[in-house]
Amino acid sequence: MGISQRINDSLFEKAGALFRSHFGHPHSAAAYAPGRVEVLGNHTDYNEGFVLSAAIDRGTFFLARKSSSPACRLLAGDVREEARFPMGEIHPGTSQRWSNYVKGVVAQLRDRFGLTDGFEGLFLGNVPLGAGLSSSAALEISTGLALARLYNVDVPPLEMARIGQKAEHDFAGAKCGLLDQVTSLFGRQAALVMTDFRTLAVESVPLGAEWCFLICNTAVKHSLVDSEYNERRRRCEEATLFFAGRLPHPVRALRDVSWDEFEAHRGAMDPITARRAAHVIGENTRVLKARQLLTAGQVAEFGTLMFESHVSSQTNFENSCPELDRVVEAARANPEVLGARLSGGGFGGSVVLLAPPRSLPAVSSAISAAYKNSFGHACEIMTILPVAGAHIL
C-alpha cells in the first residue's frame, strides 16, 4: 500500500469517527472523489478542443445518512462548522459559502428525482486550497455519488459531471468548464485523462507507474485575472470568426483550425488575436501528438511538449507571470525533469513538473532554492500521483 493510500485510509477513518461523534450514529453511504491537475491543453476546453489531465492522489470524502425529516444537516469536517437547510428550499447563501457547492448538487438531485427526505452529511478532504487542484470539483462529485447511493438513484458519470458544473455555476458563482468534474470521475491509475470538449468523449492515455508529477504552488494570483481571462476568450472568438470566413470548411471553434491553416492565414490577422489563436491551436496539436507519444511509451518526448506549452503561454497567450516562469526555468535546467508548464488558467497559481519518483527530493530542493533566491521565500511543492477516479465506498 502506498503512502497516499494510507493517508486517505486514515482520513476516511477520521471522517467516519467524526460523523459518529457529531451525529450520534454511523454513516450509511460514502464516496470519494479526487482533485485534478491539468497536464496539457491550456484554455482549449472552451474552444471545443482537447485536454490531458489527471485525477490526483488527494481528494474529498463525503459521508451521509438519510434523515426522517426534510431537514439537511451538513458538517464541514475540517472546520467543524455545521450548515442547515430544508430539502424543499435550497438557496445559495452569503455566509458559510463552502456549503453552496453541496447545496447546488443536492438541489439538482432533488429536482431530478423528487427527493423529500433530508440527510445528515459530512465532508473531509486533503486537496490543498488555492493550488489549482480543484478541491471544489472533488467536493461536488463526492457529494453527488454519496447522495445518489443514499437515495438509490442512478446518475451516469457525464450527467454527474454536469451536475457538479451547474452547482458551481448557479450556487458558487464560478463559470467553470467541465474539465475538473470529468477528470475527477474518469481518472485512471498511472494514466492521464484525455477529453474531447466537443463530443465529451473521454479516454485513458497511459503514463506509467515510473513517472509522477510535482506541483509547485506559487500562491500568486494576478489582480486582473478576470478581465485578462475575458480578453483571452474574446480574442479566441474573434479568431474563430476570422477563420470561419476564410477556410473552405465549417469552423465552429478554434479546434476546427489546423496548424497549417493557421500559418497560411495568420498574416492577415490582428497580431494579438493571432498570438492568442496560435496558443490554442498549438495546444490542440500538442495534445493530439502527446497521445501518440505516450501510447508509444515516449515519455521524454511528451515532456518536451510540456515545455513547449509553457513557452506558448509566455509568448502567445501571455497568461504566465515571473513566478511561474522562474519555476519552469529551474525545471528546464534540471536533467531529472522531463517537462514543466503552468497548470490551469495562469496569471499565477501552480506549475506541474514531470519527473521520476526517485529524483523528487533532489528536484524539490533545487526548485525551492531557485525560487527562494529569486523571490525571497520558498514555494509550496507537493508530489502528485495519477490515480483512479471518484467512486462509492
Conformation bin of residue 348: beta by default, left when phi > 0, alpha when psi is -120 to 50: left
Question: 3-state DSSP call for residue 24?
Answer: coil
Contact 125, 58 (CB under 8 A): yes
Catalytic residue among 9, 154, 170, 180: 180
Is 180 known to be catalytic? yes
What single-letter amino acid sits at 259? W
Q: Which helix (H) or strand (E) holds 29?
A: strand 29-40
What does the alpha-carbon distance between residue 182 and residue 38 come to, in Å, rounded to a whole number?
12
Cα angle 213-218-223, degrees, rounded to a multiple of 5: 135
Question: 3-state DSSP call for residue 124?
Answer: strand
Q: At what angle do helices 322-332 and 360-375 cross, to 10 degrees?
A: 140
What single-letter amino acid sits at 312? S
Nearest-10 Cα torsion for 277, 283, 286, 288: -100
What single-letter amino acid sits at 28? S
Q: Which three cell numbers stand for residue 27?
A: 454513516
For 208, phi then psi, to 5°, come to 105, 145
What does the alpha-carbon distance between residue 153 and residue 342 come to, in Å, rounded to a whole number?
39
What single-letter amino acid sits at 63? L
CA-to-CA dists, residue 3 to 8, 10, 57, 231, angstroms: 9, 11, 10, 43
What does the alpha-carbon distance between residue 65 and residue 77 come to, in Å, rounded to a whole number?
15
What does the alpha-carbon distance between residue 393 and residue 390 come to, in Å, rounded to a whole number?
10
Residues with catalytic annotation?
A: 180
